[in-house]
Amino acid sequence: MNLSDRIDKLMSKVLKPSRYLGAEFNSITKNPEEVDVRYAFMFPDVYEVAMSHLGMKILYHTLNKRDDTWCERVCSPWPDMHKLMEENDIPLFSLESRTPVKDFDILGITLQYEMSFTNILSALKLAGIELYQKDRKSGPFVICGGPCAFNPEPLAPFVDVFTLGDGEEAIHQTVELYKDWKKKGQTRDEYLLRAAKEVDGAYVPSLYDISYNEDGTIAANTPKAGTGAKELVFKALVNDLTSADYPEKLIVPYGEVVHDRIMLEIFRGCTRGCRFCQAGMIYRPVRERNMDTLLEIAEKLVKATGFDEISLMSLSSGDYSCLPELAHEMITRFMKKRVKISLPSQRIDAFLKDTLKETQKVRKTALTLAPEAGTQRLRDVINKGVTEEDLIRAVTDAFEEGWSAVKLYFMIGLPTETDEDVLGIADLAEKVRKCYFSVPKEKRSPGLRITVSASVFVPKAHTPFQWSGQLDRETVRRRQKMLKAELNKVKGVDFKYHESDVSFIEAVFARGDRRLSEVLVKANELGCKFDGWTEFFDSEKWAEAFQEANINPDFYALRAYGLDEVLPWSHIDSGVSMEFLKREWEKAQRGEITHDCRKGCVGCGMKRYGGTCE
């Protein structure tokens, strides 16, 4: 019995077998005998999450446009399927052809979330690929990219190459290098040496030596002599987003996924400079897609998929220079097809009234706004650059245009936060409720719903807050409980918050170094996987893993890093200079804001590489 038939026999025994079937509408199949490179693209989470990720869609599309390459998808099997695969000796396989992952040439893994790191180890084991890079003599090269690659060190011993930054061009360089390497019959080590020199944004951890001080901090991370590896690895950068590849077809899943819609990336990067936001730093500079190009792509995707929603995606969609015009034109084109246009979480100072009028013409979704902090003092600390008046104006506009559901995003544990700042969240929620009732009844839609979500602040690499320790879990829990009690007094508010234990482990790996790889191995051996899912996260197993590895997690999560300390990611260059980040950290302590750099350069460092925010 072949592998595909053996997989089929398991389908009646698992939850949601559609996760493993493949052959969805618009998925791509090729003859493996007619391609030079087999590329397995893995998202280390369940199918429903993987199929909602825009980056995977873009890179799947651009690789499969090549006649010489076949890119296939791989997802983490849900625990029920994982157990059956182990029991029946079925290796991790691709969706398109059900080929074992170990038989591919390249295994690309996207790193979107630190809490999926154990899934990567589980995947390598299930695939039959040696866990440690130094032990691999054959099989696919393991190449990782995505935002978490900007601190690659906790995963460094398991990965052949990290590719930092935009992937649309670097992924083709990777394929071209592989073809030439194979043609010349070179060794695996020669591939790694060449990748470090020839692929934009490539960091090869095996080419670097790390030394430590007596206090456990890093003394140096230096390239090994004679390798030619760069002392500072700069990210790959796509300068012209309009000309960059974008899918004209999207795979249509059999079942429901997290984001069951067309995602249209209208621009990349952000100029706002929120000091907690890693994406706002590492994706600089801002690059917009031309409006005509966006409309053309949207037409093709609606025709090719049948989806009934288009989400206009970016870090701050309200900042797109032609947003009202784009929304109006899209509504005009797609109204008869009942395709709605939606916006992701919005900055509350963006002038959205005209756009809101347009997007509600088909049908409304909840308006999502992100004040982030409950008081103006703390919003200035984090450089949010918005005021309470901005929020009141935005929600009033929305209520007047017929919205009745509002989602408000905040964080608990931001640097310098006090109890008063947290209680300010409840105060804002009450003011939003009053805004609704201040609108004339004939204009209001019935059924006011306010959702307040409060995540736990996690300091991230390459941000001004990278030096800040995370707030201890006891204080976080106390403030969550305090806020919940206060919000219970506000009628019609639903409060959601993140578990502090999960955010604590996230912070450990977000700020961690190479020594944490041992903790990952031990945690995975204890059964840790799908740690971002509440039903699977086990804090006791994680505590045991740290104890067995003789590593104190507080050293990474809670400790304030010194401004002159060598950071685990000091050899990675996001384009934003360390000098700028230090200035922003110091301004945060004084509660000083930095203006949006569209209004004038703030000296973040991107201009060294030709970056512009204009």
* pLDDT tens readout for residues 8-19: 999 999 999 999
d(CA 606, CA 602): 10
Q: No. of H helices and E strands in the chain?
A: 20, 19
Backbone torsions φ then ψ of 288, nearest 5 degrees = -95, 150
Is pTM beyond 0.85 here?
A: yes
Do 188 and 202 meet the contact criterion of CB atoms below 8 Å apart? no
d(CA 606, CA 271): 11
Strand partners, 342: 311
The 3-class secondary structure across 138-207, one letter per residue, is CCCEEEEECHHHHCCHHHHHHCCEEECECHHHHHHHHHHHHHHHHHHCCCHHHHHHHHHHHCCCEECHHH
| pLDDT at 476 (0 to 100) | 98
Backbone torsions φ then ψ of 181, nearest 5 degrees = -60, -45
CA torsion angle 355 360 362 366 (round to 10): 120
- Cα 12–chain centre separation: 33
Do 555 and 216 meet the contact criterion of CB atoms below 8 Å apart? yes
d(CA 165, CA 480): 35
Q: Peptide bond before 285: cis, by omega within 30 degrees of 0?
A: yes
In the structure encoding, which two tokens stand for residue 76, read together?
């983490």
CB-based contacts of 144, cutoff 8 Å, min separation 6: 108, 109, 110, 111, 120, 152, 155, 159, 161, 162, 163
Instruction: List % helix, strand, coil for the chain (3-state, nearest 5).
Output: 45, 15, 40
Query: What length does the chain have?
Result: 614
d(CA 182, CA 191): 9
240, exposed or middle or buried, with CB in 10 Å at 0-12, 13-18, 19+?
exposed
How does 358-370 read in b/e, with b if 16+ C-beta sit within 10 Å? bbbebebbebbbb
Residues of the chain with pLDDT under 70: 345-365, 610-614
In the structure encoding, which two tokens stand for residue 387, read together?
């005021």
Do 394 and 352 meet the contact criterion of CB atoms below 8 Å apart? yes
DSSP letters spanning 439-451 = S-TTTPPS--EEE
| pLDDT at 362 (0 to 100) | 46
d(CA 304, CA 352): 30
- Cα 405–chain centre separation: 26
Q: Crossing angle, helix 79-87 and helix 117-127, to 10 degrees?
A: 20
d(CA 114, CA 112): 7
d(CA 203, CA 234): 9
List the one residue out of 286, 262, 263 whose CA is nearest residue 273. 286
d(CA 132, CA 122): 13
H helices of 185-266, where? 188-198
Do 301 and 351 meet the contact criterion of CB atoms below 8 Å apart? no
* pLDDT (tens digit per residue) in 473-492: 999 999 999 999 999 999 98
| pLDDT at 614 (0 to 100) | 46
Do 476 and 596 meet the contact criterion of CB atoms below 8 Å apart? no
Do 95 and 74 meet the contact criterion of CB atoms below 8 Å apart? yes
Do 314 and 268 meet the contact criterion of CB atoms below 8 Å apart? yes
Give the CA distances from residue 224 to residues 154, 210, 221, 514, 571, in Å, rounded to whole numbers and listed in that order. Answer: 19, 10, 9, 16, 13
Residue 226 one-letter amino acid: G
